Every structure is written in C-alpha cells, then in structure tokens.
Amino acid sequence: MHTELTRRGFIKQVAIGASAAALPMVAGGYSANERIRLGWIGMGNRGEQLLTEVTTRFVREARTVAVCDLLDDRVARGLQLAALDRPKGYTDMRIMIEQERLDAVIVATPPAAHAEVSIPVMQAGIHCLQEAPLETTVEKIDALARVARKAKVVFQIGAQRRYHPGFTAALPRLLEGEFGGITFMQGHWHWPWTLLTHPIDRTGGMFLDQACHHFDVMCWAMSEKPPITCSAMGYHQARPKAGLRTFSPTHVAASFRFPDGRLFAYTHLFCLPKRFTDEQLQIFCENGCLDLIRGMFYDADNTERRIGEASGDDSMKGTSEMLRDFFTVIRDGGGRAPRADLETARNASLMGIMGRMAMSSPSGDAYEPRVIHWADLQTTTDPETKPASTPAGNG
C-alpha cells in the first residue's frame, strides 16, 4: 500500500490549481472495444455498491484500474470486488492520480471531503462522477462550482433520481403542462427506530446528506429554479437541548417557498415504527396529484392512471441508468452535459444548507426556528452573480 493521504486545507489546494490552464479531456474517441480506465476514491457502502454495479453490468464499458481509500481494509474490499480487472490499491489519491493513466474517477467519500477530492481530479483532466450532496458548506460548494465550470472534463453528480425510470417518464410530462400548473408540493423521508450517530462534520447532517436527493427532484419540477425562502424546525430526540453543530437532527419539518409563491412542505424523521418508514414525493396540480414514488396520477375524481415506474422499496432505483449516462457522455466526447450535473446538484445542496440554517441558531449551538432567504446563503456562484475574490464562509 502507498502512504496515507494527509488531509490539507482544500482552499490552499484550490488556489494552487485554479490558476493553471484547464487541461484538455483525457478520454474521448474510444474505439468500439476500448474500455474506460476507471479509478475509485472512497470504498464505503456507496462505493462498494457502485463498484459492484460496474463490475456486473458495465464490464464492456469500463475497467477498474485502481481503487483508493484511507482505510486498508476498504482498499482490500475494493480490490476483491474488481479482482477480474486486476486493479492496484492506494491509500493516497494523489499517488494514484500521478501513477495511473485514468480516464475517469468515481468519488464516493464522505460528503465533507467531496471538494477536497473532486477538485484535484478535475484539475488533472480526469472525468469525475461524484456522489451527492455536492458539498456540506456554501464555501466549498462555491469552490467546486468555480473549478467544475472551467474544467474541460465531464463532472456528473450521483443523483440517481434524475435517472429513475418513473421520474424520467413523469417529470417531462409535468413540465409540458399535461397535469396543469403546480399548486403545491410535499414529501418526506421517514426512517426506523435508530438514533443518529453519523459525525455531522463529515456528512453535513443527514438532512442534507439524504434529503438533497428529494430537493433535486423538486428543483427539477420547478424548472431548475431554487427556492427563495425556507423556514424549518428540528431537534434531536435524545438531546433536545443540543444544537445542530453537535448532533444531526432526528426530526425535521421544513417549508420552502419558490419564486412564484408555490410551496414545498417536507419532513425528515427517524425513530419511527417500521410501518411508518418510507419516502414520499407528491406534486399537486390544477388537474390532480402526481405521486412520483408510486408512479401514479390521481385526478379530481380520484381516477388513477399509471404515469411511470413505481419506486417500491428501492431508493437506489436509477443507479444503473446514472452510470450508463456517465460512460456514454465520456464516450461521446463530452458534447452534452449529464442529466445530473453541477448546476442541478448545486441547487439541491444549497437547499439542504438553507434548511439546516433555518432550524438552527446562527451559532449552531441550539435548534432555533427562523426564516432563511436564499440571499442569506451568500453564495458567490449564482449564475447571475460575479464571483468574489474571497468566498463567503457560511453553512
């Protein structure tokens, strides 16, 4: 094994590479039988899941040449899963990037390491598929956005609901006005009886880490327009007097208002009896209700019709389609953006941070409901905003 990656301030890392000229695409012009040379960074649960998917369904499209994780046992697991490709193992991503001729990298690290990992990958001229959320703070989201917009590589986000067969059937019809105008949106993601122990400094909190996938869908329904205000309440069941800075909330109720006044009501709960654990996304329209999870449309008389494939219990539905899109865009030379890209992920992740701010005191030491406006995020990478020389340190 190679030496372990030393964690450094990612802002310094960005400053070193951001001034360099963007590198040309490494991948492109593949022959019919040539496989994409793939590297992996992060071999936790999601990394294992994606690697298994690639080695079982995409053996003709990609070949795993290297796997990297800070932990030796996870590297060993990655090498085992991709054994037929005979990859090399690393615990330092910089050495992997320097020593391997990589066309693409899949990043499945904890969310708070996304910028630290994905920025050097893109600056090395390597295509990047990074898991959601985009990042855990506004500062790091802005840093990632500036690099990704300049990079001459494919940057795709692992937002599999953008590829969910039911959602891809229903959302275009919604946006074309088939069901009438949207009047209200609601959703939830409810989990069983377990207290959260995830380190909030690594995940950004489970509200951001998980709910960003649902926020992504609602921004899609809103024609990629983010909300303008959010109000939220939250707390930790075992430590109700604690603050978000220490404990990720077990119970959250949030409301978002979009520019035209339409509302999205959302709850994210843990510690529930099993029969109440599921995910829901409903969009109410002038002509009825679109139930995205069930793939059904119900009109005013409760007549139902199938619109798309139901999710069932598979919250990962769309993962295979997501990977296929990544490989296809690379093979096509990056002539189009992937369906889940920087801009869509940016809106969804900032929504998560917006909700996190709205349920907490400004210091983060207590759960305290308040109203947060999009402008309060102080993001410097809104499309109409000229980036400032020093990014804001919020979130």
Residue found under tokens 């946006």:
175
Domains in the chain, ordered, with CATH?
10-153 (3.40.50.720), 164-312+341-377 (3.30.360.10)
> Distance between CA 144 and CA 139 in Å, rounded?
9
Mean pLDDT of 69-91: 98
Residue found under tokens 């899109």:
325
- Give the residue from 103, 83, 107 showing the smallest Cα distance to 35: 103
Quote the DSSP letter at residue 74. H
| Other C-beta atoms lying within 10 Å of the C-beta of residue 51 | 23
Q: What SS3 state is found at 10?
A: helix
Mean pLDDT of 74-94: 98
Q: Are the CB atoms for 319 and 333 separated by under 8 Å? A: no
pLDDT > 90: percent of the chain: 78
Is the per-residue pLDDT at 340 higher than 60? yes
Mean pLDDT of 107-120: 97
Is the per-residue pLDDT at 342 higher than 50? yes
For 271-297, what is each residue's pLDDT tens digit? Answer: 999 999 999 999 999 999 999 999 999
Whole-number pLDDT of residue 243: 85
C-alpha distances in Å from residue 187, one per residue of 78, 216, 293, 337: 35, 12, 10, 28
Confidence grade of residue 17 (pLDDT, cut at 50, 70, 90)? very low
Alpha helices, H only, the chain: 10-18, 45-57, 72-81, 93-99, 114-123, 138-150, 165-175, 200-203, 206-221, 319-331, 342-358
Confidence grade of residue 194 (pLDDT, cut at 50, 70, 90)? confident
* Cis geometry, peptide bond prior to residue 369 (ω within 30 degrees of 0): no
Mean pLDDT rounded to a whole number for the chain? 89
**Length of the chain measured in residues:** 395
Residues 6+ apart with CB under 8 A from 186: 264, 265, 266, 280, 281, 282, 284
Higher pLDDT, 240 or 48: 48
Q: Write the DSSP string, 97-149.
A: HHHS--SEEEE-S-GGGHHHHHHHHHHTT-EEEEESSS-SSHHHHHHHHHHHH
Residues 6+ apart with CB under 8 A from 271: 191, 192, 193, 194, 195, 237, 250, 251
Mean pLDDT of 363-391: 82
Mean pLDDT of 174-201: 90
For 128-169, what is each residue's pLDDT tens digit? Answer: 999 999 999 999 999 999 999 999 999 999 999 999 999 999
Mean pLDDT of 50-77: 97
Q: Are the CB atoms for 88 and 64 separated by under 8 Å? A: no
From the number of C-beta atoms within 10 Å of its C-beta (0-12, 13-18, 19+), residue 292 rates as buried
Whole-number pLDDT of residue 31: 66
**168-176 long-range contacts, CB within 8 A, separation 24+:** 168/308, 168/321, 169/295, 169/307, 169/308, 169/309, 170/290, 170/292, 170/295, 170/297, 170/307, 170/308, 171/217, 171/220, 171/221, 173/307, 174/221, 174/283, 174/285, 174/290, 175/221, 175/223
- Give the residue from 173, 124, 142 showing the smallest Cα distance to 21: 124
Mean pLDDT of 108-122: 97
Higher pLDDT, 164 or 239: 164
Whole-number pLDDT of residue 196: 73
Is the per-residue pLDDT at 218 higher than 60? yes
Whole-number pLDDT of residue 338: 96
Is the per-residue pLDDT at 234 higher than 50? yes
